[in-house]
Amino acid sequence: GDSVTQMEGPVTLSEEAFLTINCTYTATGYPSLFWYVQYPGEGLQLLLKATKADDKGSNKGFEATYRKETTSFHLEKGSVQVSDSAVYFCALSDQGAQKLVFGQGTRLTINP
């Protein structure tokens, strides 16, 4: 079945550092790919998405590019802030299945 693998956390960085959170996927079809963020004590919010190969999703300084050849959707940000501290989830949705399959989540902590 479909699956998503994220880099293990937790990840701790200093403010203004460069962030990469790796995400790879396995899918039989042509899934849409997502990054969701969960701030402490809150629900999940969609951060960005990409629906086809080579699409780049971006939001709030975060970017991720849908790489079909490497089955990856790595999340990047050039300069992180303390307010970016949260748990980040990579996910895919096979349109035929209509469900989201999540990675295990990566906890990110940014220190001032």
Partner 1 sequence: DTAVSQTPKYLVTQMGNDKSIKCEQNLGHDTMYWYKQDSKKFLKIMFSYNNKELIINETVPNRFSPKSPDKAHLNLHINSLELGDSAVYFCASSSLYNEQFFGPGTRLTVL
Cβ atoms 13, 111 nearer than 8 A = yes
Interaction of residue 107 with partner 1, rule CB under 8 A: yes
Residue 1: both structure tokens together:
């079945």
Collapsed DSSP state (helix, strand, coil) of residue 81 = coil
Out of 28, 104, 109, 111, point to the residue binding partner 1 (CB under 8 A): 104
Q: 25 or 89, CB closer to partner 1?
A: 89
Contact between 32 and 93 under an 8 Å Cβ cutoff? The reply is: yes
d(CA 97, CA 82): 37
Under the binding rule (CB under 8 A), the answer on residue 34 touching partner 1 is: yes
User: Which class for 69: exposed (0-12), middle (13-18), buried (19 or more C-beta within 10 A)?
Assistant: exposed
Binding segment for partner 1 among 11-19, 23-31, 61-69, 96-104 (CB under 8 A)? 96-104
From the list 13-21, 23-31, 43-51, 65-73, the region that binds partner 1 by CB under 8 A is 43-51
Q: Does 1 bind partner 1 (CB under 8 A)?
A: no
102 binds partner 1 (CB under 8 A): yes
The backbone torsions φ and ψ at residue 9, rounded to the nearest 5 degrees and listed phi first, read: -105, -165
**Which parts of this chain interact with partner 1 (CB under 8 A)?**
34, 36, 38, 42-46, 49, 87, 89, 93, 95, 97-102, 104-105, 107
